[in-house]
Structures are given as structure tokens and as C-alpha cells.
């Protein structure tokens, strides 16, 4: 298992968590539901397009990176780190890519929107580099906070990170649930607005989780982010932001 995201079900308190699987040991990516800590978990049924097969579904180690329940608690949003196998290539330094944001209702109803990531942000080192979605969080019924993280290997086993927080506005975006592939498809993507640039603020850490903290006065809320140290020597850090909740603008043109 490679656990990535975890949420409490607001309806019954169950724990919902995602795993990117482990291809070496034959574990496929998936979602699981656990009624209470210490109990056995059971798999959550996924739509066919999100099930890993040799030719489609999530890529190894680039699968279900983000989870959030909608503000009404009636659906679970799933954020993929990278495009599905059938949706095109990975991000490069020249171009971002389309990843699917999936809304899975409690009766299995599926709605999906395409979100375009940024390109890989740093100059080439000749080593490994990527950019993708590392977490999502519901802002209101039609908008999600999306955490994008670009990682570049600056020396063997040592990475530099560039993390950005966006608002993704889903109004006017195409429902792509019935599209077998996004590669070359003409779709209207979710509109995105930059909220916070961690690199510009001197926070070059591997942030991969976020959750709401206490409400503050007016429209302000606290947003808590956690770093993934990948079992290395660095300490896991938590950062709290004061987020002045952005008012919902007019529907974007697309």
C-alpha cells in the first residue's frame, strides 16, 4: 500500500483513504472505507475508467492523490495526481496536462471535470522531474482548492519543490465522464486562479495534504497544510495559512 489522502465521512465518521498501490507487490491503486480506527477496511467501488488495467486507468504512483467531501457531504471528490494512461502524456517543462477531478456520489453517480496543471516549473537538471495535483479541498458547491506540486531532482535522491495553491472553478467546465480519453479532446477546463505561491514565500517544502482549521472573523478561515518527508531525515512540517475566503465571482468564460 502507498496511502496518500485521508478524510472523515461527515455523515457517519467513517475514515476514507486512498492508496496509490504498489506495482511491485501487485497492489492496485484504490479507495478504502474504514468504519473506525483499527477495524478492517473495505474497498470503495470505482468507475471503470479509474480502475487500473494495462492500457487505462491511473499510472503507477500517480493515482488518487487528493480526496475531499463536498460541502454538503453528499459526494466524494477524487483528485488524480497525473493524467490517466488513456488521457495523454505526463507534464513536461513545455506544457501542463489535463487531469480529471471526479465527483463520486453516494449512489455511484459520476461527474468529472478536466483541470489543466502547470508545466514542470524548474529548469532541467537531467534527473527526475514532475508536476501534478497533490491535494484537493472543497471550497463551496462549485469550487475546489487545488494544491499543485512540482518536484525536481537536483542531485541523486534530493528534490526541490515548487508548490502552488489554486482555486478551481468548475462552473462552465465540460463534464468529461463519458469521454474515453482527454488526449486531443476539445473540452472546457476548470478555470483556475492562483491563491498562494509557496515558492515565492520561501516555503520550498513537499506539501501534500491540507484541511480546514478554525474559522476566524469575517470571511477568514485557517488552512492547515502538511508536508510529506517521504520517510527521509527531514522533519514533517505543518503550516497554517489565514485564507480570506474569495467571494464567488461571475461564471468564468472558460
Q: Dump pLDDT digits (tens) for 87-98.
A: 999 999 999 999
User: Residue 170 has what pLDDT?
Assistant: 98
More confident residue, 241 or 2: 241
> Is a pLDDT exceeding 90 seen at residue 234?
no
- In whole angstroms, what is the distance from residue 247 CA to residue 244 CA? 9
What the block records as the C-alpha cell of 156 is 541523486
DSSP 62: B
- Give every CB contact of residue 54 below 8 A, 6+ residues apart in sequence: none
CA angle 70, 241, 101 (to 5 degrees): 30
Residue 81 pLDDT grade (very low, low, confident, very high; cuts 50, 70, 90): very high
Q: What is the pLDDT of residues 176-212, one digit of tens each?
A: 999 999 999 999 999 999 999 999 999 888 999 999 9
In residues, how long is the chain? 254
| Cβ–Cβ under 8 Å, residues 77 and 67 | yes
What is the percent of the chain with per-residue pLDDT over 90, rounded to a whole number? 70
pTM of the model: 0.92
- In whole angstroms, what is the distance from residue 96 CA to residue 79 CA? 16
- In whole angstroms, what is the distance from residue 164 CA to residue 59 CA? 23
What the block records as the C-alpha cell of 27 is 497492489
Which contacts of 193-196 are long-range, i.e. CB under 8 A and separated by 24 or more positions?
193/166, 193/167, 193/169, 193/246, 194/164, 194/165, 194/166, 195/145, 195/165, 195/166, 195/167, 195/243, 195/246, 196/164, 196/165, 196/241
Q: Give me the chain's average pLDDT, please.
A: 90
User: Residue 252 has what pLDDT?
Assistant: 58
214: region left, alpha or beta (phi > 0 left; psi from -120 to 50 alpha)? beta
Q: State the alpha helices, DSSP H only, in the chain.
A: none
> Is a pLDDT exceeding 90 seen at residue 251?
no
CA gyration radius for the chain?
17
User: Residue 254 has what pLDDT?
Assistant: 45
CA angle 122, 125, 130 (to 5 degrees): 50
Residue 28 pLDDT grade (very low, low, confident, very high; cuts 50, 70, 90): confident
Cβ burial of 51 (10 Å; 0-12, 13-18, 19+) is: middle
User: Residue 118 has what pLDDT?
Assistant: 97
Q: What is the pLDDT of residues 133-175, one digit of tens each?
A: 999 999 999 999 999 999 988 888 888 899 999 999 999 999 9
User: Residue 250 has what pLDDT?
Assistant: 62
- C-alpha 254, offset from chain centre: 21
Average pLDDT over residues 240-251: 77
Amino acid at each position: 500500500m502507498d496511502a496518500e489522502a485521508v478524510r472523515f465521512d461527515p455523515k457517519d465518521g467513517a475514515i476514507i483513504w486512498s492508496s496509490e498501490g504498489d506495482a511491485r507487490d501487485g497492489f492496485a491503486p484504490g479507495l478504502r472505507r474504514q468504519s473506525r480506527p483499527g477495524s478492517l477496511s473495505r474497498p470503495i467501488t470505482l468507475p471503470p475508467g479509474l480502475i487500473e488495467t494495462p492500457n487505462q486507468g491511473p499510472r503507477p504512483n500517480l493515482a488518487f492523490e487528493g480526496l475531499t467531501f463536498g460541502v454538503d457531504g453528499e459526494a466524494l471528490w477524487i483528485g488524480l495526481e497525473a493524467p490517466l494512461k488513456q488521457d495523454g502524456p505526463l507534464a513536461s517543462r513545455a506544457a501542463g496536462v489535463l487531469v480529471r477531478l471526479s465527483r463520486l456520489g453516494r449512489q455511484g453517480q459520476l461527474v468529472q471535470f478536466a483541470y489543466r496543471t502547470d508545466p514542470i516549473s524548474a529548469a532541467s537538471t537531467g534527473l527526475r522531474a514532475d508536476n501534478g495535483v497533490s491535494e484537493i479541498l472543497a471550497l463551496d458547491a462549485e469550487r475546489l482548492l487545488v494544491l499543485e506540486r512540482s518536484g525536481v531532482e537536483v542531485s541523486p535522491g534530493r528534490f526541490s519543490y515548487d508548490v502552488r495553491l489554486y482555486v478551481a472553478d468548475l462552473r462552465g467546465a465540460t463534464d468529461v465522464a463519458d469521454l474515453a480519453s482527454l488526449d486531443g479532446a476539445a473540452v472546457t477546463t476548470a478555470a483556475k486562479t492562483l491563491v498562494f505561491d509557496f515558492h515565492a514565500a520561501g516555503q520550498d517544502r513537499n506539501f501534500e495534504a491540507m484541511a480546514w482549521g478554525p474559522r476566524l472573523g469575517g470571511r477568514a478561515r485557517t488552512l492547515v497544510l502538511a508536508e510529506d518527508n517521504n520517510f527521509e531525515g527531514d522533519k514533517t512540517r505543518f503550516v497554517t495559512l489565514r485564507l480570506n475566503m474569495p467571494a464567488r465571482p461571475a461564471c468564468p468564460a472558460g
